[in-house]
Amino acid sequence: MHDWTGELRLDIENRHGKSVAKNVYFQGALKVMRPVYHDDSGQVCYYILNPGGGYLNGDRYQLSIALEENAELILTTQSATKVYKTPFKQAYQETEIKLKAGSLLEYIPDPLIAYRHAKYKQINRIHMEKGATFIYTDVITPGWSADGEKFSYDRLQLINEVYLDGELVVYDHIKLMPENQNMKELGFMEGFSHLGSMMVVGEKTNAALLDRLYEAVKLDADAYKIGLSELAVKGFTVRVLANSTQKVESVFSKIHHIIRQEWFDTAPSLLRKY
């Protein structure tokens, strides 16, 4: 039996065209707010809260999210995930996601902020059936430090595993260790301070969509660096290097709007809390 600092389990089903919670369970330093419906589409939105205010030495969090057929969920956070000094043991979070055919999950958390001497590991495992759609973003932000050093955290490790009908189709691994890596070099942060990642897996992905997305985001490319890659399955990933959270989020917002308009004939919901 694991000793979790916080646990969250959320199961969503479609009842007569409206997505509702079949099961909600949380304990410790994880909670969810009451469900929100931003429009009349039937898609439900839940906000995750951490009453503790941040992740500390040795904290462990577990999230389990499951969507039944044709269920639709927006999952976000109330505020940024703040990882503070972890001198003896890293903070850890694992998330298990199960998406049945026809379901849609938009997992759009606020940025991850790592402060001086923070160590953090995060694993997302997504199990999808054919016909499900998954949209995910994350933004890594360096926390404040007294000497102004941008990369004062010890280690950040983010892993995403996507399984389609039981087969591993995507493995994405970011590991940043400023003490052992020159963060300004090619292949690391290249002079930027913020790193954003976006992953979209959906059967409606095609070459025309990718071309449109690239044209939409390359216009302001002087303010950031961006890479867009097609996956081995129907989907794509995006990496953004920038110097502010707002710049990364503006890129993701453009992409998200195009996807929502082309695939679902609607705009994304406004999720931010500021």
pLDDT at 22: 96
What is the domain partition of the chain in residue ranges? 6-264
How far, in Å, CA of 205 to CA of 159, rounded? 23
Q: Report the distance separating Cα 118 and Cα 59, nearest Å.
A: 12
Q: What is the mean pLDDT of residues 108-124?
A: 95
| Average pLDDT rounded to a whole number, residues 72-100 | 95
CA distance 166 to 147: 48
Higher pLDDT, 182 or 49: 49
What pLDDT is stored for residue 145 in this prediction? Answer: 62
Q: What is the pLDDT of residue 184?
A: 74
- pLDDT score of 1: 44
> How crowded is the C-beta side of 152, counted as CA atoms within 13 Å?
16
pLDDT at residue 235, rounded to an integer = 97
Higher pLDDT pick, 266 / 221 = 266
pLDDT at 143 over 50: yes
Give the model's pLDDT for residue 269.
74
* Closest CA relative to residue 58, chosen from 99, 29, 79: 29
CA distance 112 to 124: 14
- Indicate if the pLDDT at residue 135 is higher than 80: yes
Q: How far out from the chain centre does Cα 82 lie?
A: 15
Q: Would the pLDDT of 239 be above 90?
A: yes
The pLDDT, as a whole number, for residue 2 is: 67
Report strand pairing: 194-201 vs 133-142: antiparallel
pLDDT bucket at 100, cuts 50 / 70 / 90: very high
- Strand-pairing partners, residue 44, are 73
**Percentage, residues of the chain above pLDDT 90:** 75
At residue 221 the predicted structure's pLDDT band, cuts being 50, 70 and 90, is low
Percentage of the chain modeled with pLDDT above 70 = 93
What integer is the mean pLDDT of 135-153?
Answer: 80
Residue 199: pLDDT band (50, 70, 90) is very high
**190/183 Cα distance (integer angstroms):** 7
pLDDT in tens, 21-46: 999 999 999 999 999 999 899 999 99
* Average per-residue pLDDT for the chain: 91
CA distance 56 to 89: 9
Q: Are the beta carbons of 86 and 120 closer than 8 angstroms?
A: yes
Is the pLDDT at 266 greater than 80? The verdict is yes
Over residues 41-68, the mean pLDDT reads: 94
**Three-state helix/strand/coil letters over the chain:** CCCCCEEEEEEEEEECCEEEEEEEEEEECCEECCCECCCCCCCEEEEEECCCCCECCCCEEEEEEEECCCCEEEEEECCCEEECCCCCCCEEEEEEEEECCCCEEEEECCCEEECCCCEEEEEEEEEECCCCEEEEEEEEEECCCCCCCCCCCCEEEEEEEEEECCEEEEEEEEEECCCCCCCCCCCCCCCCCEEEEEEEECCCCCHHHHHHHHHHHHHHHHHCEEEEEECCCCEEEEEEEECCHHHHHHHHHHHHHHHHHHHHCCCCCCCCCC
Local confidence band at 7 (pLDDT 50, 70, 90 cut-offs)? very high
In terms of phi and psi (left: phi > 0; alpha: psi -120 to 50; beta: otherwise), the region of 205 is beta
State both tokens at 221. Answer: 């490319």
Contacts of 207 by beta carbon, 8 Å cutoff, 6+ apart: none
Select the highest-mean-pLDDT range: 34-38, 129-133, 248-252: 129-133
Tokens of 152: 């004062």
**pLDDT of 156 higher than 90:** yes
